[in-house]
Structure 1
């Protein structure tokens, strides 16, 4: 039965991705959302058919493998050569979400029993993406129901921000910011087609196993036990370190495989959700997420205005932080500026790199302040 369960989890993301290609309405939500929804349905409609211990072990392993696979594609040296305004704008986004998460935590300290963990997860997701939130949530051992509710609230609330970005942001906000200055040095505007090669994928998976194994080894070396935050930081740090090798960085299949493992993770985690637990805590968490995101976005654009950052750079770096690399190309097309695609993608990958450190750090800071 366990083999069948794992096989279903592995196959479902492929079917959902194919469905998105053939049915336009499916692509509106994205594969991550569909994976969570399918997982939740499986877990609540057929709870007796699932081995929860197997599912829990599976999601813990998958997130440790997905983090380095996604980070192998990071070109840190190239990102550091970005214009001053790009780096400044991205840093403003990181500072904004940190301030928002810490400040709002004080308002909800009596309403959410794991508010410091939720605060760290939100810093992770709004500085890099779902992979950061997933990794931080597992690292801090947050309850599965709470995790899924935070993720559902994030999807619900952030979708309104994305609609604003795609439909109204340029018209309403761009008059208050400097115009984007096209640079002849920034002509790398082709969208990269990411395919999957089994040989490349095998190499990337082997490297991620080495990274995960080394991180577990470090945990035992220093703590004589499995200590999740150290394992996560080890996977993140070694993933970044490996990315300095051009041979590893050019394994394009590593990013595709990392995303696919993340999809399986989402199905597994969704299947562990209990609707009864979710219903009790829903209002407080939705309010918390809404307030954090609103404050973070507002602080970002206020900071961008003060530092005289052009509108296109300000919004693409914020989208990279809040949504990750996946939405960069659609937003760039909406802005009519293909030059910012590479900048946005690189910032998104950089968010994967710093989001885990920042999220864990802010979680501990909130915990310290509230105790």
Structure 2
């Protein structure tokens, strides 16, 4: 029995709560300076954490699954309709280096965390393999490694809860860092400066209100935005599914085949690529569509709400508090090495934070952060670079999991 005020099958109420929280967060962000500094994304996320931890809403529901399955894929092309796709490819190459260095942070953190806690947490070799894969590429890799290592169901559930809580906290930290003077002095931050200048030009308006000026949007714009996004999602997912089915993959085939399958069978990489191709061939069509950014951003705010919901503090305290320590060490090393490498190689603060986000949460959460902060030019590049984590994450997880097993 669910011990929550609203049950997981009360779909209309849960949809309503998600939409209302997203709407409230956007309004607060644009109306009040304190909310603008916190950002609507954090308001949405923290609101969801409070509702789930006070047992008003459940931590799992088909509604949340629908947001991951339908809302995120639709938001991605909508947000790319008005970007400079040529600049995206140039930026992607630059960000790939810091992304790979950030991945090394995950690997180092996992190894150190494993040897510190292996005598206290059962099946940590399997959990370590799963979490290292997840914190290089995202939740897709976690699912793959869970099937591979066949860890006990209760440990997997505890790891998921620890991961969800850590992700929510980490997202809040990453969103806060660009507002702190210490990091602004230490790193170049051109995208933050641009956002600040836009806020100053807005004559007292919040940054969000200055950015989201009222647009001339018609019914036809809404129809073309949503219809085109759905078309791109359908075609991309069908192509990815077809290619995944015909390209060999698994333990019995070579690294090269698995790499090809991971690249061409990935829904989001194909979706991003197909959207770029459409932008290249039909630039005028997309230039004449208004409102796609607004619709896509609202959908992303629904996502912010959903990623906060599973962060159940009572569950992790009850089931496996040491797992939270385990993932905290991994995430801390990832961020520390990302910032250190970024400083030495003179990367912008925004690029460093986004690749760290892409490692820990995957390209979708990183893109969501770029959208929330108004770093428009980095949305496309982090989506492209973040999908590389899907590919290398499984190899990192497999290698570490098998090595850790020799110490258990």
**Separation (CA, whole Å) in 2 of partners of 1:296 and 1:155:** 15
> Which residue in 2 is equivalent to 1:62?
71
Question: Is the Cα contact below 8 Å between 1:211 and 1:235 reproduced in 2?
Answer: no
**Separation (CA, whole Å) in 1 of partners of 2:71 and 2:371:** 27
Question: Is the Cα contact below 8 Å between 1:153 and 1:286 reproduced in 2?
Answer: no
**Separation (CA, whole Å) in 2 of partners of 1:364 and 1:252:** 42
* Greater mean alpha carbon deviation, residues 322-331 or residues 56-65: 322-331
Query: Which of these residues, 329, 332, 351, is aligned with residue 287 of structure 1?
Result: 329
Q: Which has the larger radius of gyration?
A: 2
Number of aligned residue pairs: 320
Q: 1:49 to 1:357 in 2, by over 3 A?
A: closer
Q: CA deviation at 1:148?
A: 1.9
> Which residue in 2 is equivalent to 1:355?
386
1:15 aligns with 2:62: no
**Separation (CA, whole Å) in 2 of partners of 1:120 and 1:230:** 16
**Separation (CA, whole Å) in 2 of partners of 1:9 and 1:328:** 21
Query: Which of these residues, 329, 339, 350, is aligned with residue 297 of structure 1?
Result: 339
Q: CA deviation at 1:351?
A: 0.8
Q: 1:252 to 1:350 in 2, by over 3 A?
A: farther
> Which residue in 2 is equivalent to 1:307?
none
> Which residue in 1 is equivalent to 2:11?
2
> Which residue in 2 is equivalent to 1:256?
294
1:119 aligns with 2:150: no
Q: CA deviation at 1:261?
A: 2.1
Q: CA deviation at 1:2?
A: 2.0
Q: 1:218 to 1:114 in 2, by over 3 A?
A: farther
Please list the CA deviations of residues 270-322 of structure 1 after superposition, one character each: whole Å capped at 9, or x if unmatched. Answer: 33343223332333322321121001211222234xxxxxxxx6445435545
1:244 aligns with 2:277: yes
TM value normalised by structure 1: 0.68
Q: 1:160 to 1:78 in 2, by over 3 A?
A: closer
Where do residues 164-243 of structure 1 align in structure 2 (5 Å cutoff)?
A: 164=180, 167-169=181-183, 171-172=185-186, 197-211=221-235, 213-214=237-238, 217-218=241-242, 221-222=245-246, 233-243=266-276
**Separation (CA, whole Å) in 1 of partners of 2:105 and 2:46:** 28
- In structure 2, runs of 5+ residues without a counterpart are 1-9, 147-155, 189-200, 202-209, 248-261, 358-365, 403-408
Please list the CA deviations of residues 12-38 of structure 1 after superposition, one character each: whole Å capped at 9, or x if unmatched. Answer: 211210111122222233222222222
Q: 1:203 to 1:60 in 2, by over 3 A?
A: closer
Query: Which of these residues, 345, 352, 356, is aligned with residue 318 of structure 1?
Result: 352
> Which residue in 1 is equivalent to 2:171?
155
Q: 1:204 to 1:42 in 2, by over 3 A?
A: farther
Q: 1:276 to 1:346 in 2, by over 3 A?
A: same
TM value normalised by structure 2: 0.63
* Secondary structure at the counterpart of residue 272 of structure 1: coil
Q: 1:317 to 1:173 in 2, by over 3 A?
A: closer
Q: CA deviation at 1:364?
A: 3.2
> Which residue in 1 is equivalent to 2:153?
none
**Separation (CA, whole Å) in 2 of partners of 1:24 and 1:149:** 28
Q: CA deviation at 1:234?
A: 2.1
Question: Is the Cα contact below 8 Å between 1:215 and 1:235 reproduced in 2?
Answer: no
Q: CA deviation at 1:50?
A: 8.3
**Separation (CA, whole Å) in 2 of partners of 1:235 and 1:43:** 29
Where do residues 28-47 of structure 1 align in structure 2 (5 Å cutoff)?
A: 28-46=37-55
Q: 1:38 to 1:326 in 2, by over 3 A?
A: closer
CA RMSD for the aligned pairs?
A: 4.1
Please list the CA deviations of residues 138-196 of structure 1 after superposition, one character each: whole Å capped at 9, or x if unmatched. Answer: 787785523322312313543564245xx13464567xxxxxxxxxxxxxxx9975756
* Greater mean alpha carbon deviation, residues 244-253 or residues 268-277: 244-253
Where do residues 84-95 of structure 1 align in structure 2 (5 Å cutoff)?
A: 89-95=94-100
